[in-house]
Amino acid sequence: MASARLAVDIGGTFTDLALEHGGRRTTAKVLTTPSAPEQGVMEGVRAILAQAGLAPSDIAILIHGTTLATNAVIERKGARTALVTTQGFRDVLAMGNESRYDQYDLNITLPQPLVPRHLRLAVAERLDNTGKVLLPLDEAGVRALVPVLKRHAVESVAVGFLHSFVNPAHEKRAAEILAAELPGVPVSLSCEVSPEMREWERFSTTAANAYVQPLMARYLTKLAAELKGMGLDAPVFLMLSGGGLTTIETACRFPIRLVESGPAGGAIFSAHVAKECGLNAVLSFDMGGTTAKICLIDDFKPQTSRTFEVARVGRFRKGSGLPLRIPVIEMVEIGAGGGSLAHVDSLGRIGVGPESAGAMPGPACYGRGGTKPAVTDANLVLGRYDPARFAGGAMTLHEGPAKVALGEHVGAKLGLAPEMAALAVVEMVDENMSNAARVHAIESGKGYDGRTMIAFGGGGPVHGFRVAEKIGIDRVLVPSGAGVGSAIGFLRAPVGYEVVRSLYQRFRSFDVAAVNGLLDDMVREAEEVVAAGSFGAPTTQSRIAFMRYVGQGHEIPVALPARTLVADDVAAIRAAYDVEYSRFYDRPVPGSDVEIMSYAVVVATVAEAAPSVAAVPGRSEATAVRVQRVRDSVTGEVADWAIYDRASLSPGAVLAGPAIVAEDETSTLVGAGWTASVTAQGYIELVRGAR
Amino acid sequence: MSGGQMAAIQRQIMWNRLIAVVEEQAQIMIRTAFSTTVREAGDLSAGIFDLQGRMMAQAVTGTPGHVNSMAEAVGHFLAKFPAAAMKPGDHYITNDPWLGTGHLHDLTVVTPAFRNGAIVGLFANTAHVIDVGGLGIGPEGRSVYEEGLYIPIVKCFDQGAPNETFFDFIRVGSRLPVELEGDVYSLCACNDAGAKRLVEMMDEFGMDSLDPLAGFIFESSMRATVAEIAKLGRGTFSAEISSDGYDEPVTLRGAMTILDDAIEVDFAGTSGLSQRGINVPPAYTRAYACFGIKVVVAPEIPNNWASLLPFRMVIPEGCILNAPRPYPVSVRHVIGHLIPDLVMGCLHQVVPDRVAAEGASCLWNPPMRGGASVSGQARGNKPVVSDFEIITFNSGGTGARRTLDGLDATAFPSGVRTMPVEATENVSPLVFWRKELREGSGGAGLTRGGFGQVMEVGTKGELEYAVNATFDRIANAPRGRDGGLDGAPGAVRLKSGKVLRPKGFQVIPDGDRLILELPGGGGMGEPVARDPALVARDVRDGLVSVAAARDLYRVAVDGLGVLDEAATARLRAGG
């Protein structure tokens, strides 16, 4: 009987695969085939099955995540899309919030809407904020748009009317008319894609959904057919940006919910490692070639959010992308990776990133013609890499060009030797990541006391200890399998779905019956989606209210009991809000009423229990394989650091910093004052100030 | 050797950290503030100061109007409450237009930071709150006394305990007491958070004082700013710009002298003071003049005491840009927002490729009010709209840049954002019937000015309400540069047709609606040199008419935006 589980994560460069079968894990990487991504997937599936010695029929479930939707938006390769909207509001997508994301750059450009103005079409209709009809829908006006849509060969239609999240009747009627007149053209409704207040965010999300829908539906249908063709008959699930899994059918309706699935997999990977190790307060730190991603994980659950920006035109600047209001795993992504380039500005300040050397020419030390210094160059010059063993020995690093680049572009401008320039670059990129992590904690109302960092990606284990020092973390965990973390994360994700709806209420006049009615509807909707893929597995439910003081701008999520509410709950919910608010901002505000903006319901299958692991057999001093001259980025001193080979360390092995644990995919730096040991799972655990 | 190099690297890391600390401070304010002006619109600023009141770093988040007006404010706080006498848990506050940022709606809070019992620095922030009583925001006051609650520099928290007398006064003096009190709490909390981070930073780096770091920041910033100034040609360059004024036009004049190590602007020749609240206190004039120069000359240098020092303003007494107490100043931004266009008019003669054409510049922020305070007394049994008091932020088009079109309906020089219509309608009985780009409003040019927008606003039930108009650039359109044409001027009227005054309190009667047509930005360069494909795109998008394409750009295009290249060549050759 089929029992293997297979995950496939299509990234920009590589398609990663992970397969688990009978307690064994196999991983594989193949090149992504952007013009026909299913080809790369099929090639990878064949390769990993051969590697594991399994047949297609052995696969019980296939879990898939892809950046296809994101890339379509970034590269503007989606469908020719029209937006049908309320008369008088044709330019909501173009006007955005009427602001500049950079106050001091006269020459900024703003992100262009996915729907050009000549395809943003208005019809007369208007609801007020309570959903009451102020102006009935002009049905003849909707019909009159049909020839225009046909003339422009529109492939997908978004419908966004003001206040439709309160009363969807006009949007639904317009969709009926369009569907009847334009068979085969999909219609996305703002009241279904993103039923929340704020017209720009809702319309933007709906337009993006319509924009990627034909492409994603074609791709997913084709992929399912090809898999069937090779005899892989297992159900296929898609990874959602919110961290759950869904069916192909739901993914075809709401493809915009797939945009951040790769990073979501990374966060779930971290959450699972946290669970295995019993760590209930974690900072996930994933540093790759061009960016670093930071995510907070409490009680084994990654933080979630409902806002996200895609396709930023202003180099990772907040506000320079298209807003999407969908459930996502909350993370900050900053332009700091191994390929990030260093420079010196007119004030003599060192900056690192967000410009990146990319894969070609890459950092100067790749010896492929790159002349600008990257973070990888700086790490090499500090002595942190074995030049012959980088990327498993697939590539030899060259220190000469790295030194020249650092000397020329940083050292000479600041009176620093190339080695000290390298130190400055590494300290600055660590500082930038730490600052981003600090701001992220503030935005989440959390702190770093007692938190463990889980570091992965090529750069995470190299920079982890220093970032931890800067933000006050004393424990860092480096799991194994970090190179395909996202794909492994997919295997851990529950089948789940989140429904969000707005229902505005003041707390003083809280209508228990209305809230119960809404929540019942939401639970029903989420359960239907989940039932399609859970095959009767037990599910859990969580309910959240988004609340704030009347007049405030940012809501705080407050958990509600997962059952019908009774009058007595009201006081308890209000008390829970005060507790949450104080946790965020120190003091509650006296005498203010609280308002509830919206609700979220998540239904998901119960996550599998973490496997129990045999106790560590006992601690033993690890043996270094050699020493290497390394410059300490904290003190500037050069000393012999012990080098250990990760593959030869067994559980229980202990070593003291300063040291480096080398492996094919990365190096784990153990700073001075840190002690490393290997856990029962084979993970490296770094602890500061303990021995 | 490496010791000295390590110290140099450390200083850079510390500077970087300090900027992160003030950014955190600003983010906390946005998340906790009550007034939509702060949390939605971002009308705020935050910074850290040394014990002499010199600004070391300022958050990037925020709006330029507070740039060095907040920086100057801290000196006034210290003059009244010397640093040596401050205690942990103290918070000081004012909204004095002449000691703060130019009108009573801006609260400035200063908070000392302590480490090991000793004061080490000061945090300050400024935020625009929705209501401080008085006439409400608008130009109608004839003196500052009418414009609202006037808070001198006082302690709002004394060693952690709220000053209840102060809070009693502000609660009874505002139409929105909960929001106002909540905002004061929010401003204090965000300074506290900054102070906490600062102390952590000083512990980490083993700093006993901020002075050495301040010295390094000031020295580097001054050197870099002077180096940028040195790249400019020497000389004196003059420009002028006109505002509609309240009841008569106002002309601003500037003569900019570029020296070896400084830029000085003399505003001699500027119109005199107004009887109404469009006068500008000098700190606000300096703020926007500085911003206008800096955004062209040294945009990458962060704001601090030293980087602002080389920009000097000479503002004659008695002119509208140097209003003394008690002149009314409530809507000083209407004039103040023109100052960057004025200084760019000077800089255009020095670095023509680095400036923009004039834009709508002044925000079109209608303060709207309805219910008892507008129609309560005289209406007998006729229905009255429910009570509300609200302001929304809206922008026209920005001026064309040398290689880029202006931005459509986007704030400049102000750094604020607009609020969603759905959110505004949720907290007021207003109904927005139209808020979209204004066709044909962008000034033609090789690069085109940004388009303005049109708004149409009524109430539920089409009942009367009032607007306190604070609009400009109706008689004085944003001008183009180098052959680029002017943007469309603004217009204010009722839907029934009556033209309204650009400034002042006016009632929109039952059954009628307010229509605002916001200006477009000026163009840059000759329109006939513009890429015909871009003209065709604008026609296809319905933003430029077929006639305008032919007459202004000499481009032949049909109503669907299909370009006739041969006919275009003939049109252009014939010119």
Same domain, B422 and B477: yes
B449 Cβ contact list (under 8 Å, min separation 6): B357, B359, B397, B398, B399, B400, B405, B406, B441, B442, B443, B478, B480, B484, B487, B520, B521, B522, B523, B524
In whole angstroms, give the CA distance from residue A595 to residue A553. 11
Same domain, B525 and B555: no
Per-residue pLDDT at B1 exceeds 50: no
In a domain, B242, yes or no: no
In a domain, B348, yes or no: no
Predicted confidence band at A611 (pLDDT cuts at 50, 70, 90)?
low
Are B407 and A416 within 8 A, CB to CB? no
Question: Whats the size of chain B, residue-wise?
Answer: 575
- Of the residues B436, B537, B543, the best mutation for testing chain A's interface (the one with the most A CB atoms within 10 Å of its CB) is B436
Same domain, B413 and B546: no
Which residue has tokens 């890391």?
Answer: B13
Same domain, B55 and B180: yes
In whole angstroms, give the CA distance from residue A453 to residue B448. 51
In a domain, B257, yes or no: no
Q: Average pLDDT of chain A?
A: 88
Q: Average pLDDT of chain B?
A: 93
Check residue A612 and give its pLDDT. 63
B241, containing H or E segment? strand B235-243
Same domain, B556 and B494: no
- Domain layout of chain A by residue ranges: 4-73+217-258, 78-210, 495-605, 620-688
Predicted confidence band at A585 (pLDDT cuts at 50, 70, 90)?
low
Check residue A364 and give its pLDDT. 94
Please state which of the ranges A47-56, A320-329, A611-620 shows the lowest mean pLDDT.
Answer: A611-620
Same domain, B541 and B448: no
CATH number for the domain whose boundaries are A495-605: 3.30.1490
Same domain, B443 and B548: no
Tell me how close the Cα of A1 comes to any Cα of chain B, in angstroms. Answer: 54
Least CB–CB distance from B540: residue in A118, A415, A587? A118
Check residue B2 and give its pLDDT. 65
Please state which of the ranges A216-230, A242-256, A526-540, B238-252 shows the lowest mean pLDDT.
Answer: A526-540
* Highest mean pLDDT: which range of A44-48, A553-557, A650-654, B269-273: B269-273
Q: Considering only alpha carbons, which residue of chain B is nearest residue A161?
A: B422
A414 interaction partners in chain B (CB closer than 8 Å): 8
Per-residue pLDDT at B3 exceeds 90: no
Query: Taking chain A, what is the end-to-end CA distance rounded to the nearest angstrom?
Result: 49
Q: pLDDT of A331-389, one tens digit each?
A: 888 888 888 999 998 888 899 988 888 767 889 998 888 899 999 999 999 999 888 77
- Is the dihedral angle over the CA atoms A654, A659, A661, A667 positive or is it negative? positive
Check residue B41 and give its pLDDT. 67
Per-residue pLDDT at A270 exceeds 90: yes
Q: What does residue B106 show for φ and ψ, rounded to 5 degrees?
A: -95, 115
B223 interaction partners in chain A (CB closer than 8 Å): 347
Amino acid at position A288, single letter? G
For A160, the token pair is: 């966004």
Residue A354: is the preceding peptide bond cis (ω within 30°)? Answer: yes
Are A94 and B408 within 8 A, CB to CB? yes
Domain encompassing residue B543: 532-574
Are B20 and A439 within 8 A, CB to CB? yes
Architecture of domain A78-210: 3-Layer(aba) Sandwich (3.40)
Per-residue pLDDT at B122 exceeds 50: yes
Where is pLDDT greater, at B516 or B72? B516
Per-residue pLDDT at B547 exceeds 70: yes
Check residue A375 and give its pLDDT. 95
Same domain, B452 and B567: no
CB B292 within 8 A of CB B308: no
CATH number for the domain whose boundaries are A4-73+217-258: 3.30.420.40
CB A171 within 8 A of CB A191: yes
Same domain, B396 and B543: no
B121 Cβ contact list (under 8 Å, min separation 6): B48, B49, B50, B51, B56, B112, B113, B195, B198, B210
Per-residue pLDDT at B10 exceeds 60: yes
Query: Is B192 an interface residue toward A (CB < 8 Å)?
Result: yes
Per-residue pLDDT at A318 exceeds 70: yes
Check residue A1 and give its pLDDT. 59
Interface of B with A in 369-398 (CB under 8 A): 393-395
Check residue A441 and give its pLDDT. 85
Please state which of the ranges A3-12, B143-152, B162-171, B275-284 shows the lowest mean pLDDT.
Answer: A3-12
In a domain, B493, yes or no: yes
Are A103 and B64 within 8 A, CB to CB? yes
Where is pLDDT greater, at A444 or B158? B158
In a domain, B366, yes or no: yes
3-state secondary structure of A287: strand
Check residue A260 and give its pLDDT. 82
In whole angstroms, give the CA distance from residue A164 to residue A136. 13
Check residue A288 and give its pLDDT. 82
- Of the residues B24, B32, B463, the best mutation for testing chain A's interface (the one with the most A CB atoms within 10 Å of its CB) is B32
Check residue A290 and give its pLDDT. 79
Same domain, B565 and B422: no
In a domain, B113, yes or no: yes
3-state secondary structure of B127: strand
* Highest mean pLDDT: which range of A254-268, A302-316, A323-337, B540-554: B540-554
Q: Considering only alpha carbons, which residue of chain B is nearest residue A132?
A: B460
CA-angle at A474, arms to A469 and A480, nearest 5°: 100
Q: Considering only alpha carbons, which residue of chain A is nearest residue B189?
A: A585
CB A423 within 8 A of CB A636: yes
Check residue B575 and give its pLDDT. 55
Q: pLDDT of A49-89, one tens digit each?
A: 999 999 999 998 899 998 888 888 888 889 999 999 999 99
In a domain, B340, yes or no: no
Tell me which of B178, B203, B222 is where a domain ends. Answer: B222
Amino acid at position A653, single letter? A
In a domain, B375, yes or no: yes
Query: Is B64 an interface residue toward A (CB < 8 Å)?
Result: yes
Same domain, B567 and B443: no
Express as a percent the part of chain B with pLDDT over 70.
98
In whole angstroms, give the CA distance from residue A86 to residue B435. 11
Q: Considering only alpha carbons, which residue of chain A is nearest residue B63?
A: A103
Check residue B517 and give its pLDDT. 98
In whole angstroms, give the CA distance from residue A498 to residue A542. 9
When divided into structural domains, chain B yields a total of: 3
Same domain, B34 and B135: yes
Per-residue pLDDT at B64 exceeds 80: no
What are the start-end ranges of the E strands in A525-616?
539-549, 556-560, 594-605
B534, containing H or E segment? helix B532-540
Are B408 and A95 within 8 A, CB to CB? yes
For B509, the token pair is: 């009667």
Q: pLDDT of A510-522, one tens digit each?
A: 888 999 999 999 8
A591 interaction partners in chain B (CB closer than 8 Å): 178, 181
CB B26 within 8 A of CB B62: yes
Are B295 and A417 within 8 A, CB to CB? no
pLDDT (mean) for A466-480: 94
In whole angstroms, give the CA distance from residue A342 to residue A344. 7
